[in-house]
Amino acid sequence: MTLTTRFAPSPTGYLHVGNVRTALHNWLFAKKHGGRFLLRLDDTDTERSREEYADAIRADLAWLGLLPDAEYRQSDRLARYNEQFETLVAAGRIYPCFETAEELEVRRKIQLSRGLPPVYDRAALNLTPDEIAAKRTAGERPHWRFRLDTGAHVHWQDLIRGDSHIDPASLSDPVVRRADGSYLYMLPSVIDDIDMGVTHVIRGEDHVTNSGVQIQMFEALGAQPPAFAHEALITGTEGALSKRLGSAGMAHFREAGIEPVAIAALLARLGTSDSVEPVTSLDPLVEHFDFAHFGRSAARFDEAELRQLNARILHQLDYDAVANRLPPGMDAAAWAVLRPNLETVADAADWWQVIEGPVEPLANDGDYLALAADTLESLPWEPGIWSALTGALKAATARKGKDLFLPLRRALTGRDHGPEMAGLLLLIGRDRALERLRARTN
Ligand code: GLU
């Protein structure tokens, strides 16, 4: 069987770094083992699911380079869910319940006041077929619960958490279908995982209890449960991440000029014992991906760390990787000069403007700059021009260090800091350089 993973977001919001991390790990694990990575849109909640979010999820995955081998959506599969639902009803594993939300709430409060766990008491299992038929004839519409087998703990070897178990007796039989006929997430997910040949379910540890329940659903449907990996959640610098937290969404990072590979490089290693490396492609992340490296404590996502990593990655990116995002006219030579000083690709436009001018004059050191202009004019324009110029000025004026270099930088770029002047001067070119040095002499 081909190793198959899936990323199963509900299209009820934009992806945040936590969801993207889950997608990435599913993708990395599949790639590492020559498997398949599926995108499954969990859109059974028709009220909250929106096409706009589905589109954004696809676009974000594409931007990150996490292309699915196939895409499914749960709303296309309702007939199949109904079929399997009926199988489980016939097998007595799903049963109708008629309690109202208010009734259940009252029972819950009573249980709690008696110090009992607020677990559904399975009163509906005592209804006779006649009673059920009478209720339905009277127009009452049931919701449906999956009857857990409470005889023994559910065990599995979690790829991250190790030996894991859930006591089904501590849980309520989960509602799998609402009175209006719509499905909750749990059962469709299992039916999909079976039908789509999912071999590994990789998701956040907020699903650990669900896994206990879902393992019983797999078994009830006659299927072998997949392997599970439950990852410790990641938190933001200000606490839990939420899908609606715009600041952790991909649109925000795109606008901030973060490279998708920087996001992947950080999220592949966050919460693991591996150091974060400034990789320029996903390949090394695939190669090193291993659940054995994951810890069980929550990891913190820090945007400042992402920005630093982004700069380190940028400093290694080839011109071809960024060319379509550079200002018109900016070539590979210019990229090589500017790259070490950039935090984002967008910063290149800023420096390109410095090269092309006009630049705002910064300082007055008129006589020195006039001498620099005359010296520059007398020298042959060639690749070593910056060192020839500063060498000649040093000999002529006995200036050194900052006194020698800074007035030139300020006149030529309008700034105190920036990329190496040797490269910048060549990009600025002879005419513009002379003009800028002379602009300072009045
Ligand atoms: N739609 C579920 C969620 O976003 C999927 C969980 C799963 O991976 O099974 O939480």
pLDDT interval class at 387 (50, 70, 90): very high
Give the Å distance between the CA of 108 and the centre of ligand 1.
Answer: 27
Domain count of the chain? 2
Note whether 370 and 435 are same-domain residues.
Answer: yes
Helices (H) and strands (E) in the chain, counts: 19, 13
At 366 the pLDDT is 86
Strand 162-166 vs strand 154-158: parallel, antiparallel, or unpaired? antiparallel
At 241 the pLDDT is 60
Q: What is the pLDDT of residues 189-204, one digit of tens each?
A: 999 999 999 999 999 9
Note whether 374 and 421 are same-domain residues.
Answer: yes
Contact yes or no for 439/373 (Cβ under 8 A): no
What CATH number should be reported for the domain holding residue 429? 1.10.10.350
Distance CA 241, CA 243 (A): 7
At 362 the pLDDT is 76
Strand 200-204 vs strand 227-231: parallel, antiparallel, or unpaired? parallel
Q: What is the pLDDT of residues 397-436, one digit of tens each?
A: 999 999 999 999 999 999 999 999 999 999 999 999 999 9
Strand, helix or coil at 155? Answer: strand
For residue 395, being part of any structural domain is answered with: yes
For residue 418, being part of any structural domain is answered with: yes
Contact yes or no for 268/24 (Cβ under 8 A): yes
> Which residues constitute the domain of residue 392?
366-439
At 441 the pLDDT is 47
Q: Which of 4, 5, 10, 202 to mutate to test the pocket of ligand 1 (most atoms within 8 A of CB)?
A: 10
pLDDT interval class at 442 (50, 70, 90): very low
Compute how many other C-beta atoms are within 10 angstroms of the C-beta atom of residue 169: 13
Helix (H) or strand (E) holding 200: strand 200-204
Q: What is the pLDDT of residues 252-302, one digit of tens each?
A: 999 999 999 999 999 999 999 899 999 999 999 999 999 999 999 988 999
For residue 391, being part of any structural domain is answered with: yes
Note whether 386 and 421 are same-domain residues.
Answer: yes
Residue whose token pair is 């006649």: 130
Which residues form the pocket of ligand 1, taking CB atoms under 6 Å from any ligand atom?
8-10, 42, 185, 189, 203, 207
Give the Å distance between the CA of 310 and the centre of ligand 1.
Answer: 29
**Of 297, 328, 356, the domain-final residue:** 356
Q: Please state the pTM of the whole predicted model.
A: 0.90
Q: What is the pLDDT of residues 38-55, one digit of tens each?
A: 999 999 998 999 999 999
What ranges make up the beta strands (E) of 12-84?
36-41, 70-73
Note whether 381 and 348 are same-domain residues.
Answer: no
Task: State percent of the chain over pLDDT 70.
Answer: 97
Q: Which of 24, 42, 231 to mutate to test the pocket of ligand 1 (most atoms within 8 A of CB)?
A: 42
Note whether 371 and 410 are same-domain residues.
Answer: yes
Residue 222: alpha-carbon gap to chain centroid: 35
- Structure-token pair, residue 347: 């910063």
Q: 230: which strand partners?
A: 203
For residue 430, being part of any structural domain is answered with: yes
Note whether 335 and 375 are same-domain residues.
Answer: no
Give the Å distance between the CA of 41 and the centre of ligand 1.
Answer: 9
Note whether 351 and 380 are same-domain residues.
Answer: no
**Of 356, 384, 418, the domain-final residue:** 356
Residue 387: alpha-carbon gap to chain centroid: 46
At 236 the pLDDT is 77
At 361 the pLDDT is 73
Give the Å distance between the CA of 203 and the centre of ligand 1.
Answer: 7
At 440 the pLDDT is 57
Note whether 372 and 341 are same-domain residues.
Answer: no
Q: Is the dihedral of CA 207, 208, 209, 213 positive or negative?
A: positive
Note whether 388 and 414 are same-domain residues.
Answer: yes
Residue 85: alpha-carbon gap to chain centroid: 34
Helix (H) or strand (E) holding 240: strand 239-240
3-state helix, strand, coil in the chain (%, to 5): 50, 15, 35
Side chain identity at residue 16, one-letter code:
H
Judge whether residue 244 has pLDDT over 50.
no
- Structure-token pair, residue 341: 């000083």
Q: Looking only at Cα atoms, what is the longest distance across the chain? A: 110
Residue whose token pair is 């500063």: 390
Q: Whose CA is nearest to atom 6 of ligand 1?
A: 8
Note whether 377 and 413 are same-domain residues.
Answer: yes
For residue 425, being part of any structural domain is answered with: yes
Look over the chain and give the mean of its residue pLDDT values, rounded to a whole number. Answer: 94
At 248 the pLDDT is 75
Judge whether residue 243 has pLDDT over 50.
no
Strand, helix or coil at 316? Answer: coil
For residue 187, being part of any structural domain is answered with: no
Judge whether residue 238 has pLDDT over 70.
no
Q: Whose CA is nearest to atom 7 of ligand 1?
A: 8
Q: What is the pLDDT of residues 305-363, one digit of tens each?
A: 999 999 999 999 999 999 999 999 999 999 999 999 999 999 999 999 999 999 987 76
Q: What burial letters (b/e) apply to 368-391, b meaning 16+ CB within 10 Å? A: bbebbbebbeeeeeeeebbebbbe
For residue 110, being part of any structural domain is answered with: no
Q: Whose CA is nearest to atom 3 of ligand 1?
A: 9
